[in-house]
A and B are shown apart, each in its own frame.
Chain A
Amino acid sequence: MSDYSDLDRQIEQLKRCEIIKENEVKALCAKAREILVEEGNVQRVDSPVTVCGDIHGQFYDLKELFKVGGDVPEKNYLFMGDFVDRGYYSVETFLLLLALKVRYPDRITLIRGNHESRQITQVYGFYDECLRKYGSTAVWRYCTEIFDYFSLSAIIDGKIFCVHGGLSPVPSQYLDQIRSIDPQAGGARTTGPCAICFGAIPKDQTGWGVSPRGAGYLFGSDVVSQFNRTNDIDMICRAHQLVMEGFKWHFNETVLTVWSAPNYCYRCGNVAAILELNEYLHRDFVIFEAAPQESRGIPSKKPQADYFL
């Protein structure tokens, strides 16, 4: 039985939305690296597990997620990326998830989203937040280094393929090929040949397309059915896109979008969802709303939703 007292204390602290010290972050990331380096690009996950979509630094809403879903380790979780950016508590959110990963590696799986990147976090807030909360960019550097070690995808009981965005057109309909991508190649993952793409979006027609807005591909129903058939999987579970109802089926229930950031950007008015899979992969969606004001404590600076005023 190893001594978890420091880690448990850090988890308790982070659960109160208090940051841990810079040297603690450094040590945490080092430990996380040891664990993540063992994980494959397609991380195997066993049911039962609860699958979650984007969180985006909405710390109090993540706590709400655990309220409706149950805590780690009692419940197993798979988070499909985009832990940081946009929300006001990316630091606390990411470090809490990472600390839970280090404390209970078998109970929680974190895969990488397109916001787990050096470039994007400099535009969408995580970089600024680290600087504001720690007075230097060291914590941002530790965190972005660890981003490179996250799995790109996961497969639950060999049947449900989970990825942040979706599929990409590069030749790789086989999961084996995804597995062969060098996990330490860093940025190469987003630009190089890989079967999965952070920015991919399901599209109405068949075949492939290029996303009209920003990076990423569109993938059609035929692409999915071929992928699913070849790899003998039942469905693809992904996040990445805001869906107002929290979850959304595509292509005759072969692709599912799960979105777990309620009232995204504190503005969008959407509800959030998590997908609970029991030990028989029976699906149950739990819908939840943003945490009420009272549960949020008094933050140092009142964050505000952005509008045109």
Chain B
Amino acid sequence: MAASDKSVDDSLYPIAVLIDELKNEDVQLRLNSIKKLSTIALALGEERTRSELIPFLTETIYDEDEVLLALADQLGNFTSLVGGPEFAMYLIPPLESLATVEETVVRDKAVESLRTVAAEHSAQDLEIHVVPTLQRLVSGDWFTSRTSACGLFSVCYPRVTQPVKAELRANFRKLCQDETPMVRRAAANKLGEFAKVVETEYLKSDLIPNFVQLAQDDQDSVRLLAVEACVSIAQLLPQDDVEHLVLPTLRQCASDSSWRVRYMVAEKFVDLQKAVGPEITRVDLVPAFQYLLKDAEAEVRAAVATKVKDFCANLDKVNQVQIILSSILPYVRDLVSDPNPHVKSALASVIMGLSPMLGAYQTVEQLLPLFLIQLKDECPEVRLNIISNLDCVNDVIGIQQLSQSLLPAIVELAEDSKWRVRLAIIEYMPALAGQLGQEFFDQKLRGLCMGWLNDHVYAIREAATLNMKKLVEQFGAPWAEQAIIPMILVMSRNKNYLHRMTCLFCLNVLAEVCGTDITTKLLLPTVLLLAADPVANVRFNVAKTLQKISPFLEASVIDAQVKPTLDKLNTDTDVDVKHFAAQAIAGIAAA
């Protein structure tokens, strides 16, 4: 470190500046100086960072939350700057006091940094330096410090001696019974991660009673955090214990008087399902799932609707179809016509996923009628969700069957007032075209595809252009020459420049799939014609198009036709026309 070579006066400089800056009235300056704290520590060296900088910071912890937040953040990465893990304990005092401030964000950051730094301590140092801090926080006068304490258990517990472990479990129990709801919430919030590091016997004897108690708290915000912990705990216990120790509480949460708690059960349902296994799922969770699908609160129904696919997918394979058909679908059918749009939309985002589980016959019998209703739903999001997921149904029943049933609805949606719905339909076209075959496509869908080229929304015209390319890939260049190119070339003579631009965009992509012959004979003449367009935007797009299609042209054609045109454009009065012409000339020369 260069700084250590400097004279004493010089090396005092950084801390003097820091003190100065930290006293400045401008918060922004104080913030900036905290943010470069690591630079200052580097300049000071490890020893002086420990003996001067850290004590200074510990004493001056009284500032705007923004500054404290930055400080809490910095200290989490300071271990190497104080001399490595064996000196990490120097960072504990400032972080401890930051963990007691009023502002939650600062406290949370301080706890996060404490966790990082604690993990860097040796087991012995942890017990000497971090555990006392944890215990001071536990017995702090204000809820702020007790709340912070909750975050330190899981990082200390696994590395301390048996007697200390017993103390920590007792401390945690105390926090679970704290008078201030924020502390109980913090405890409930950390219960899951603490459970993971506690020995199974103590999990059952100590933590489960805490869990049961928190799940019956009079604050619903505490109860719903207990639901989250429920998953972690269920994952740690054998099935038998889950049934006796966890399920009664879970059942109670699923019918909690607060919909927020029920919502959390819905959110966690699949995790719970995985934790408890197929037998408990069949006996206990299926009825609970049905119950939630019928919940009086729309938010709960919406949450559980998004789980329909995953819940069904995780049913045991032997009974899967039967359970879906007899126990789930009747409820799903009701949700299709739910009065709440969020619920319908949530369901629409996953319902297609049932198709592979049910197979072709049941999909056609049971699901298709539901899709048809949803494709006509008044809420655009429902329509969009169904269209966007049609492909997973293709695989099950084949597109022939699908398109026969849904084609009228799809044709209708091709002109939907929401452009994102139209976009989803366009993106589905190539697959549809491939399956339906050219003749059927020409009859039923080609008109739509051409129509999109003139849509008043640019994103649709762009997608329609790309769609042209994919269609040619399906049906081949001869089809393009006969079925679409003539109509596209006509657009080059449209009075509205937007259509002439779209024509050029189509030619860009068609050249790639139509081959040299068509590009030279059919596409190029139109491009060259547009070089004299009165609108500058069209002219510079001619330059861009010429560059793009040149790989598909013979050298002789480029020399005879493309280059002279570009040379002319390169003398255009419009700056951008000249720019893109010059770029095209350079690009073609480099090729």
Contacts and interface: CB of A to CB of B under 8 A. Distances in A.
Q: Is there a contact between chains A and B in the complex with CB atoms less than 8 Å apart?
A: yes
Interface of A: 1, 48, 66-71, 73-76, 104-107, 131, 135-136, 276, 278-280, 282, 284, 286, 288, 292
A154 to B, nearest CB: 17
B496 A278 contact: yes
The 5 closest A-B CB pairs, nearest first, are: A70-B458, A1-B582, A67-B459, A68-B457, A278-B496
B541 A74 contact: yes
Interface in B497-535: 497-498, 501, 534-535
A68 B459 contact: yes
A15 to B, nearest CB: 15
Interface stretch (B72-80, B196-204, B429-437, B572-580): B572-580
Nearest to B533: A279
A70 B458 CA distance: 5
A107 B28 CA distance: 39
Given A67-B458, A278-B497, 7 more contacts: A67-B459, A73-B576, A75-B537, A105-B575, A106-B575, A131-B28, A292-B420
B331 interface: no
Contacts of B497: 48, 278-279
B576 A280 contact: no
Contact of A279 (B534, B574, B582, B583): B534
A284 B32 CA distance: 50
A1 B536 CA distance: 17
A284 B534 CA distance: 20
B194 to A, nearest CB: 29
Given A105-B575, A106-B574, A284-B456, A1 B495 contact: no
Given A48-B497, A135-B32, A278-B497, A1 B576 contact: no
B359 to A, nearest CB: 31
Contact of B501 (A67, A74, A107, A276): A74
B534 A286 contact: no
Given A1-B583, A106-B576, A279 B457 contact: no
A48 B541 CA distance: 15
Interface in B453-498: 456-459, 495-498
A114 B576 CA distance: 31
B540 interface: yes
Contacts of B31: 135
A68 B420 contact: no
A69 B458 contact: yes
B379 interface: no
B419 interface: yes
B505 to A, nearest CB: 9
Most buried by B among A76, A279, A288: A279
Contacts of B575: 105-106
B486 to A, nearest CB: 24
A104 B495 contact: no
B170 interface: no
Nearest to B381: A292
6 contacts: A67-B459, A70-B458, A106-B536, A278-B496, A278-B498, A279-B535
Contacts, number: 58
Contact of A136 (B28, B420, B495, B576): B28
B496 to A, nearest CB: 5
B456 to A, nearest CB: 6
B496 A286 contact: no
B576 A107 contact: yes
B325 interface: no
A174 B501 CA distance: 37
Contacts of B534: 279
A103 to B, nearest CB: 10
B590 to A, nearest CB: 13
A282 B495 CA distance: 11
B586 interface: yes
Contacts of B420: 292
A73 B498 contact: no
B537 A73 contact: yes
B332 to A, nearest CB: 25
Contacts of B583: 1
B586 A68 contact: no
B28 A135 contact: yes
A131 B495 CA distance: 49
A107 B456 CA distance: 20
Contacts of B537: 48, 73-76, 107
Given A136-B28, A286-B456, A280 B495 contact: yes
Contacts of B495: 278, 280
A74 B576 CA distance: 10
A104 B582 CA distance: 16
A74 B586 CA distance: 21
A43 to B, nearest CB: 16
A104 B459 CA distance: 22
Given A48-B537, A76-B537, A1 B459 contact: no
Interface string B155-193: 000000000000000000000000000000000000000
A106 B536 CA distance: 10
Contacts of A70: 458
Nearest to B583: A1
A55 B497 CA distance: 26
B382 to A, nearest CB: 14
Nearest to A289: B418
Contact of B458 (A1, A68, A105, A106): A68
A261 B582 CA distance: 37
B457 A48 contact: no
Given A68-B419, A135-B32, A1 B579 contact: yes
A135 B30 CA distance: 11
A74 B577 CA distance: 11
Nearest to A132: B28
A230 B536 CA distance: 31
Contact of A73 (B28, B32, B458, B540): B540
Contacts of B576: 73, 104, 106-107
A278 B31 CA distance: 52
A276 B32 CA distance: 47
A89 to B, nearest CB: 21
A136 B497 CA distance: 45
B263 to A, nearest CB: 20
